Structure 1
Amino acid sequence: MTAHQSTLTYVFAVCGPPGPEAEALGGLSGVAPPAPVRTLAAGPLTAVVQDVPAADYAEEALRERLSDRAELERCARAHHEVITASMAAAPTVPLPLATLYRGEERAREALRAREESLLTALGRITGRVEWGVKVYALAGQPAAAASSPGAAAASGRAYLEQLRSRQRGREERQGAALRAAERVDTVVRGLAVAARRLRPHGAEVTGPRRTHVLNAAYLVDRGRERQLRAALASLRRDDASVEIELSGPWAPYSFADGGTAP
């Protein structure tokens, strides 16, 4: 990728033959207005693309651009907006942020090289959407402060036993939360056609009062949202020791290249 080229081809996603809803793509800003977002035929596949200035999206310029938090967020939101609009027009395989080629022909060549896997992915996600499920273990109540000098001066043995008791309590809560997370995963996998475990978030994201024990994505047939919500509501009623979050429906980002069948 070289900066002397006037434009590069940014590919947002790959879809099948788009329907009339694809006309709405032309009204989107994409990542580099005013160039229109458009479709590009590539054999049995259709790419959703935009011409972007090479001076702004060549390797070094792009690295600098995406190192700026505000610019990264703008690009990510624009990328997601285009993919969401494409999903309304046809089954869509999202591509990673900043998928760039040196012109239309290079983009077509790249899609031809991946044609079989992309067609398989399109077949897998057609009529389906991604849902995210997170399960958190809730922290126990903080220990009460000592109410008298005598309590503060408890014996060393009693103090150590108190520490061991707290540790056992933490381990028991963690074990119970992990078992609850596995129950949640088993139930949701029963409604899904594919699932993928993702890396849990750390305390810098979740905060100190809860621990992330399940972060998973599920590929679910459209029309099963009510069953999914009802199943999670039942799990919440059965176990108040964990917090269960549902997000979606999303474009099937986690299943563009596969996923584990339940």
Structure 2
Amino acid sequence: MTERGPGQPSDRSALYVFAVCDAPDPAVFAGLPGVAAGEPLRLLRFGALTAIVQSVRAADFTDEVWQARMSDRDELERYARAHHDVVSAAAASCPTVPLPLATLYHGEGRARQALLDETVRFSTAMERTAGHSEWGVKVYAADAPVPGPSAAPLRPETPAGRSRPAPGAGLAYLERKRGVQARREQRHEDALRLAETVDAAFGNLAAAGRRLRLHAPELVGEGRVQVLNATYLVAEHRGAELQALTRSLRDATGAGIDISGPWVPYSFVGEV
């Protein structure tokens, strides 16, 4: 639960929570600024678990201020990177459940109680993701241009100055148009088959997987068609296998396959 309101006194503090961990080493957070310069990162114990927290000015996280920050790409990236750096440091130390960006509570007592209420979910998520990393996989097929139906050839002009289609031109035009449509449908079926093939191969290697919304054509680049955008939860000791599988699938399918990772498994801690 994130507690924000329409306005807070400028001198009032709030508690920003980055992640929940099993038994983090405080030393891994040394030198990390978090999201509030000058305020140290610290550990907040609740039950058998520990949260990584930082005191922040409540006025910096009101709904109005946060919405303005979300619309500023540079500012949002700065906060996202600061948040991710803390989560990554925690995950390198022990099993970790990352919390969403700008998870905020008004005071330690409220934070501790809210986190205690979620203890079972946190413990289940840690058990599921411990020793695993998240890998992103994007698959592209070549975007072969589809020719449009050609215009029907015309006879030389008649004495009246008018032209007429050659005999059978209408039928030829319809056949070409049907051919274009058939090729489009075939490419669509090939794309679906490629996505299923790659997803199944990575799914056999991964502990879990999620298929995400495909990127818009303008984001993937001219001449590329994205057919799969997915993320997989993979045991850390199988990272080399995943990369070898990627190379094998590229060779076998001729598709463009981009992988990214390993990452903290953000995508797989909210499903428990």
Provide the C-alpha distance between the structure 2 equivalents of 1:28 and 1:117, rounded to a whole number of angstroms.
Answer: 27
Q: Secondary structure at the match of 1:10?
A: strand
Matches within 5 A, 1:20-39: 22-39=26-43
Q: Secondary structure at the match of 1:81?
A: helix
2:87 matched to 1:74? no
Aligned match of 2:135: 131
2:231 matched to 1:217? yes
Provide the C-alpha distance between the structure 2 equivalents of 1:213 and 1:164, rounded to a whole number of angstroms.
Answer: 24
8 Å CA contact retained: 1:137, 1:174: no
Aligned match of 1:166: 180
Which residue among 8, 18, 24 is the counterpart of 1:3?
8
Report how far residue 212 of structure 1 moved.
2.1
2:210 matched to 1:204? no
2:1 matched to 1:18? no
Q: Secondary structure at the match of 2:198?
A: helix
Provide the C-alpha distance between the structure 2 equivalents of 1:244 and 1:131, rounded to a whole number of angstroms.
Answer: 12
Aligned match of 2:60: 56
Which residue among 43, 46, 50 is the counterpart of 2:50?
46
Provide the C-alpha distance between the structure 2 equivalents of 1:187 and 1:113, rounded to a whole number of angstroms.
Answer: 38
Aligned-CA RMSD value: 2.2
Provide the C-alpha distance between the structure 2 equivalents of 1:210 and 1:168, rounded to a whole number of angstroms.
Answer: 20
Aligned match of 1:105: 109
Q: Secondary structure at the match of 2:200?
A: helix
Which residue among 239, 243, 246 is the counterpart of 1:229?
243
Provide the C-alpha distance between the structure 2 equivalents of 1:129 and 1:170, rounded to a whole number of angstroms.
Answer: 38
**Which one has the largest radius of gyration?**
2
Q: Secondary structure at the match of 1:223?
A: helix
Identity %: 49
Structure 1: tracts of 5 or more residues without a match: none
Aligned match of 1:93: 97
8 Å CA contact retained: 2:146, 2:184: no
Aligned match of 2:157: none
Amino acid at match of 1:13: A
TM-score (ref. length: structure 1): 0.88
Aligned match of 2:203: 189
Provide the C-alpha distance between the structure 2 equivalents of 1:229 and 1:195, rounded to a whole number of angstroms.
Answer: 16
Aligned match of 1:255: 268
8 Å CA contact retained: 1:140, 1:170: no
8 Å CA contact retained: 1:137, 1:173: no
8 Å CA contact retained: 1:201, 1:212: yes
Provide the C-alpha distance between the structure 2 equivalents of 1:57 and 1:14, rounded to a whole number of angstroms.
Answer: 21
TM-score (ref. length: structure 2): 0.85
2:179 matched to 1:175? no
Report how far residue 258 of structure 1 moved.
2.1
